[in-house]
């Protein structure tokens, strides 16, 4: 008998019929002898509807009250799913994040989980209940309801799996698993049977969209076996674990792209006075996620700095920089994309970056920024060339032909 | 500076515009120097929408999960109202029932408040915030979310007023106050400037609908000054307090009617064996509210028993009686109404009941059951004669002419 945490996103519980399907699926798993904990997001458009309501009242809602408001979305889902499970004749009990023992920082809108007390969940599991937990939320020390922000439900699922020492954490999505790249962009994209945490982390960070990076980090930290699979069929998904068996000959495992990139340039920053630290500290204080940073020393005492951020953070970034560094000259370049190749095999294969640059050059795509890690190379290019770049790289790194290999890999997991 | 608890029902917060109106109203009160606690219900149809969702999944939802589901309605309202208040430039903070320190019995759907720990609310009031609390809900000892059932938001408001030692508890409704009878039934009905707890209790119990009896009981028990007033205007409402000044010459203060009455008859119950107690205990265990009870001893050892219940409780009542007392012969009479006259002056005025019976007889209305207390006389009659009965009694007891007296009374309260 295994203890399995299953996470279903908002589209999987968008209406009564879908909730019933999820209920059947989790009861099926329980009837196979598993202890089942289910983490759910808010139903379909609920969160957007609630945000609309708030916008009718204020342009700048208090983050605490937004959390109070938005956390109702998951609370509705858990109650309904518990009822649907009970209707199938299985005992079930739902818990909000707070009731499930999930403590977070006292930060609203993007709190991090600080602790989980699984006492209540263990009690309910021991009673034989299918346990339903609201994703995306917790409570801070003063008792306020907090939300975890984007990817929060994935993170809830993984954190609960860690706290409960679950055997597996299954993330149900609207795709069959993790693909070599976005199948909407590249037709020849194929599903990976397995991938390492580090690779998944790079792909997740780079906008693969299937799993939130915070969840993957959590999974890596607590060594939680993660399975990404479809809520619409019973196909085996992609297993994310410490070391995934390499697909034969695959140095590059996947290609990710992020269409939502803005490049901000700062010209003539005084280097001596610790400005670099002050700039990025100021942005961090405003919770701006800075991605790629490139600096060049122009004179002894002056630097040019470029960095990328998401489109959403542009207003905050400009306001912060203008108010705190009024003397610095700012430039903004929008409509950019980041295209990245990811693969643990890169570490021992020099020349991968060079092949990437050559492939893009051959396609006539100019590279504006580059960033590398041990297992990925990212390039910033014009947004309208991004899909072309992904297609060219998918071919260049031999991923178009991966299909059979993956299918074979899947069979061994089925 | 007064501490005022203000309660707004679902229709007062049904949309963004109405929420803004409530926000303006409570900020106005705060700007006059008052400490303000606001209790709100769920927005308009939210609760019904949630019940519909549940019904799509199950015919018999678990009460715990219904509470988990329905409590989101008020949680949405409080967050939105807090945002609307903040938008007006006043600090505000919202609390669910549990966060507001409201503890209840571990009964779902109709829990009673057992304790209130006002520490968090006092803290927020001391910070100068307008405090918004979700009505209708609390938490039980095991941490589960509970709801208080019908009239729960009124009860929340009064209970908070008691716990906070508030100077006044204002219940905002869609009417101007408590009327001598339902103005939709009797055009000459007029608003009372003041009424005693006991009179209000009888009127509330009898279906006057403005204030829930549990809330009035709570107010009486803790001597909370209650004001029933309109959320749509600034007219003074009806003050409910320990002893209300009598309107001149008014023995009967108001006339209530309840259209939702069923009479259940049990023929030939063995009296000796404690059956009477067993029957009503069995119904109480199923949370059936039995109202009027009439028994008559037919032989030495057999009684005929009649009692009234609400239409909603009929199924439960019949199921309970048939299963636990299979030998007893049952009769059911539906489509009845209860019409009652209420007034503290009755105690010292015999002949009031006789006048009531004569008035109904003159109108050709036959009385099926009678029940009396010190300050009310209730009659059960055919439902389709109820409005006629109310009209006749309103005239007979001199309430048609009360208008000027009440207006004068109002002036002294303005």
Q: b vs e for A155-189, b when ≥16 Cβ sit within 10 Å of the residue's Cβ?
A: bbbbbbbbbbebebbbbbbebbbbbbbbeebbeeb
Q: B68 and A82 in contact by Cβ < 8 A?
A: yes
Query: Which of B61, B75, B80 comes nearest A83 by C-beta?
Result: B61
What is the helix, strand, coil percentage profile of chain B, to 5? 40, 25, 35
Q: B86 and A62 in contact by Cβ < 8 A?
A: yes
Residue B369 has pLDDT above 50, yes or no: yes
Q: A75 and B75 in contact by Cβ < 8 A?
A: yes
Query: Which of A57, A66, A78 comes nearest B20 by C-beta?
Result: A57
pLDDT of residue A246: 54
B119's CB contacts (< 8 A; 6+ apart) are B101
Residues of chain B with CATH 3.40.1160.10: 3-173
Q: A72 and B76 in contact by Cβ < 8 A?
A: yes
Question: By the 8 A CB rule, do A129 and A93 touch?
Answer: yes
Residue A408 has pLDDT above 60, yes or no: no
Q: Which residue of A has its CA nearest to B54?
A: A80
Read off the tokens for A31.
């009837």
Q: Which fold has domain A3-254?
A: Carbamate kinase (3.40.1160)
All residues of chain A having their beta carbon less than 8 Å from the beta carbon of residue B93 are 64-65
Q: Which residue of A has its CA nearest to B65?
A: A79
Q: A83 and B64 in contact by Cβ < 8 A?
A: no
Task: With H, G, I as helix, E, B as strand and everything else as coil, classify residue B303.
Answer: strand
What integer is the mean pLDDT of A34-62?
95
Q: Edge-to-edge, what's the strand order for the sheet holding A102-104?
A: A113-116, A102-104, A137-139, A145-147
Pairing of strands A369-373, A376-382: antiparallel
pLDDT of residue B402: 55
All residues of chain A having their beta carbon less than 8 Å from the beta carbon of residue B19 are 57
> Residues A311-353: pLDDT tens digits?
999 999 999 999 988 888 899 999 999 999 998 888 777 789 9
pLDDT of residue B207: 59
Q: b vs e for A49-78, b when ≥16 Cβ sit within 10 Å of the residue's Cβ?
A: ebeebbeebbeebbebbbbbbbbbbbbbbb
Q: How many CB contacts within 8 angstroms connect chain A with chain B?
A: 109
| Cα radius of gyration (chain A) | 23
pLDDT of residue A54: 96
With pLDDT > 70 as the criterion, what percentage of chain B qualifies?
92
**What is chain B's mean pLDDT, rounded?**
89
All residues of chain A having their beta carbon less than 8 Å from the beta carbon of residue B56 are 16
B65's CB contacts (< 8 A; 6+ apart) are A79, A80, A82, A83, A86, A93, A94, B54
Best to test chain A binding among B16, B71, B72 (most A CBs inside 10 Å): B72
Any chain A CB within 8 A of the CB of B78?
yes
Helices vs. strands in chain A: H and E counts, helices first: 12, 18
Any chain A CB within 8 A of the CB of B145?
yes
Q: Which residue of B has its CA nearest to A143?
A: B99
All residues of chain A having their beta carbon less than 8 Å from the beta carbon of residue B57 are 16, 19-20, 80, 83-84, 87
All residues of chain B having their beta carbon less than 8 Å from the beta carbon of residue A71 are 75
pLDDT band at B205 (very low <50, low <70, confident <90, very high): low
Residues of chain B with CATH 3.30.2130.10: 255-396
Any chain A CB within 8 A of the CB of B96?
yes
pLDDT of residue A21: 96
With pLDDT > 90 as the criterion, what percentage of chain A qualifies?
63
Any chain A CB within 8 A of the CB of B231?
no
pLDDT of residue B287: 87
Q: What are the beta bridge partners of residue A296?
A: A304
Question: By the 8 A CB rule, do A41 and A71 touch?
Answer: no
> Residues B241-299: pLDDT tens digits?
887 555 545 788 899 898 999 999 998 787 766 778 888 999 999 889 898 988 876 66
Residue B408 has pLDDT above 50, yes or no: no
User: What's the farthest any 2 CA atoms get from each other in chain A?
Assistant: 74
Best to test chain B binding among A74, A83, A118, A145 (most B CBs inside 10 Å): A83
> Residues B158-167: pLDDT tens digits?
999 999 999 9
All residues of chain A having their beta carbon less than 8 Å from the beta carbon of residue B80 are 53-54, 57, 65, 69
- The secondary structure element, H or E, covering residue A406 is helix A403-413
Residues, chain B: 414
> Residues A154-201: pLDDT tens digits?
999 999 999 999 999 999 988 888 888 888 889 898 888 889 998 888
pLDDT of residue B383: 96
Any chain A CB within 8 A of the CB of B54?
yes
Question: By the 8 A CB rule, do A151 and A137 touch?
Answer: no
Q: A79 and B86 in contact by Cβ < 8 A?
A: no
Over A220-278, what HEC string results? HHHCCCEEEEECCCCCCCEEEECCCCCCCCCCCCEEEEEEEEEEEEEEEEECCCCHHHH
The Cα–Cα gap between A351 and A358 comes to 10
All residues of chain A having their beta carbon less than 8 Å from the beta carbon of residue B61 are 83, 86
Residue B303 has pLDDT above 90, yes or no: no
The distance of A128 to chain B (nearest Cα, Å) reads 16
Residue B406 has pLDDT above 60, yes or no: no
pLDDT of residue A6: 98
Residue A225 has pLDDT above 80, yes or no: yes
pLDDT of residue B411: 30
Any chain A CB within 8 A of the CB of B119?
no
- The secondary structure element, H or E, covering residue B295 is strand B293-297
CATH architecture designation of domain B3-173: 3-Layer(aba) Sandwich (3.40)
Dihedral Cα A264, A267, A272, A274, nearest 10 deg: -20
Residue B401 has pLDDT above 80, yes or no: no
**What is chain A's mean pLDDT, rounded?**
89
Tell me how many degrees the CA angle A338-A342-A347 measures, rounded to the nearest 5: 130
> Residues A245-286: pLDDT tens digits?
555 457 888 998 989 999 999 987 877 667 788 889 999 998
Query: Which of B76, B93, B96 comes nearest A50 by C-beta?
Result: B76
Residue B122 has pLDDT above 70, yes or no: yes
Question: By the 8 A CB rule, do B206 and B256 touch?
Answer: yes
Is the CATH code 3.30.2130.10 the one for domain B255-396? yes
pLDDT of residue B410: 31
In this structure, what are the phi and psi dihedrals at residue A366, rounded to the nearest 5 degrees? -90, 140
Residue B335 has pLDDT above 80, yes or no: yes
All residues of chain A having their beta carbon less than 8 Å from the beta carbon of residue B53 are 16, 76, 80
What integer is the mean pLDDT of A11-17?
94
């Amino acid at each position: 008998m295994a203890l399995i945490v299953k996470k279903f996103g908002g589209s999987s519980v968008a209406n009564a019929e879908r909730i019933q399907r999820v209920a059947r699926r989790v009861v099926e798993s329980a009837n196979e002898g598993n202890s089942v904990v289910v983490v759910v997001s808010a139903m379909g458009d609920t969160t957007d509807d609630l945000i609309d309501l708030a916008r009718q009242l204020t342009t700048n809602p208090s983050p605490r009250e937004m959390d109070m408001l938005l956390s109702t979305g998951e609370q509705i889902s858990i109650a309904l799913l518990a009822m649907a499970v009970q209707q199938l004749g299985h005992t079930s009990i739902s818990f909000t994040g707070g009731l499930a023992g999930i403590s977070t920082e006292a930060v609203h809108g993007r709190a991090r989980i600080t602790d989980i007390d699984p006492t209540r969940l263990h009690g309910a599991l021991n009673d034989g209940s299918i346990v339903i937990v609201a994703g995306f939320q917790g409570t801070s020390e003063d008792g306020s309801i907090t939300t975890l922000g984007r990817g929060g439900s994935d993170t809830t699922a993984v954190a609960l799996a860690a706290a409960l020492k679950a055997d597996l954490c299954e993330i149900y999505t609207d795709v069959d698993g993790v693909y070599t790249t976005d199948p909407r962009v590249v037709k020849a994209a194929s599903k990976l049977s397995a991938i390492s945490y580090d690779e998944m982390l790079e792909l997740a960070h780079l906008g693969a969209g299937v799993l939130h990076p915070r969840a993957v980090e959590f999974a890596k930290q607590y060594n939680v076996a993660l399975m990404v699979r479809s809520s619409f069929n019973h196909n085996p998904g992609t297993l994310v674990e410490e070391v995934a068996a390499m697909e034969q000959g695959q140095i590059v495992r996947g290609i990710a792209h992020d269409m939502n990139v803005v490049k901000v340039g700062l010209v003539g920053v005084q280097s001596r006075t610790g400005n670099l630290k002050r700039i990025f500290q100021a942005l961090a204080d405003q919770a701006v996620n800075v991605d790629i940073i490139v600096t060049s020393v122009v004179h002894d005492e002056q630097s040019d700095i470029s960095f990328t951020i998401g489109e959403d953070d542009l207003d905050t970034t400009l306001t912060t920089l203008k108010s705190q560094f009024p003397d610095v000259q700012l430039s903004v370049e929008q409509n950019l994309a980041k295209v990245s190749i990811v693969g643990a095999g890169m570490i021992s294969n020099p020349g991968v970056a060079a092949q990437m640059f050559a492939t893009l050059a051959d396609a006539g795509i100019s590279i504006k920024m580059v960033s590398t890690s041990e297992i990925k190379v990212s390039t910033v290019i014009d947004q309208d060339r991004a899909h072309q770049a992904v297609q060219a790289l998918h071919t260049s790194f031999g991923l178009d032909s991966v299909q059979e290999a993956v299918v074979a890999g899947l069979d061994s997991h089925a």
